């Protein structure tokens, strides 16, 4: 997440491989944009309220809009401002999980 310089609670959601691409809420429509930075590309994360690690992702421009994933296909994603449903809950998950341990193979004094 890339924080906005003057809005501490709002973030750009940036693609790892194509870092110029950012999610956007363009007039209540979900999209990806690679041009200049605009406020409709800023999002805030609000906990679900269930202490489960899930968040609603709200637009900082259209403050009632939340990102929703309403189907399994890649393009079944939208901005939604109606009632809250579970298809609007998101979780930040580490890309990799590392386990560290020490295993002494040889000891010499």
What are the tens digits of pLDDT across the range 26-50?
Answer: 999 999 999 999 999 999 999 999 9
**Bigger pLDDT: 4 vs 90:** 90
Nearest to 40 by CA among 55, 27, 52, 53: 27
Q: What is the pLDDT of residue 25?
A: 98
24-46 burial, b if ≥16 CB within 10 A, otherwise e? bbbeeebeeeeeeeeebbbbbbe
DSSP 3-state of 87 = helix
Does the model's pTM come out above 0.75? yes
The percentage of the chain sitting over the pLDDT mark of 70, rounded to a whole number, equals 98
Integer CA distances (angstroms), 98 to 17, 76, 95, 101, 104, in order: 22, 32, 10, 10, 19
Q: What is the pLDDT of residue 3?
A: 75
- The mean-pLDDT minimum among 5-9, 80-84, 104-108 falls in 104-108
pLDDT tens for each residue of 65-82? 999 999 999 999 999 999
């Amino acid at each position: 997440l890339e924080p906005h310089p003057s809005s501490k609670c709002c973030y750009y959601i940036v693609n790892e491989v194509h870092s110029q691409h950012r999610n956007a809420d363009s007039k209540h429509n979900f999209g990806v944009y690679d041009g200049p930075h605009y406020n409709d590309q800023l999002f805030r994360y609000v906990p679900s309220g269930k202490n489960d690690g899930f968040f609603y992702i709200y637009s900082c421009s259209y403050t009632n809009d939340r990102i929703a994933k309403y189907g399994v296909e890649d393009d079944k994603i939208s901005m939604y401002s109606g009632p809250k449903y579970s298809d609007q809950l998101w979780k930040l998950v580490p890309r990799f999980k590392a386990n560290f341990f020490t295993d002494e193979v040889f000891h010499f004094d």
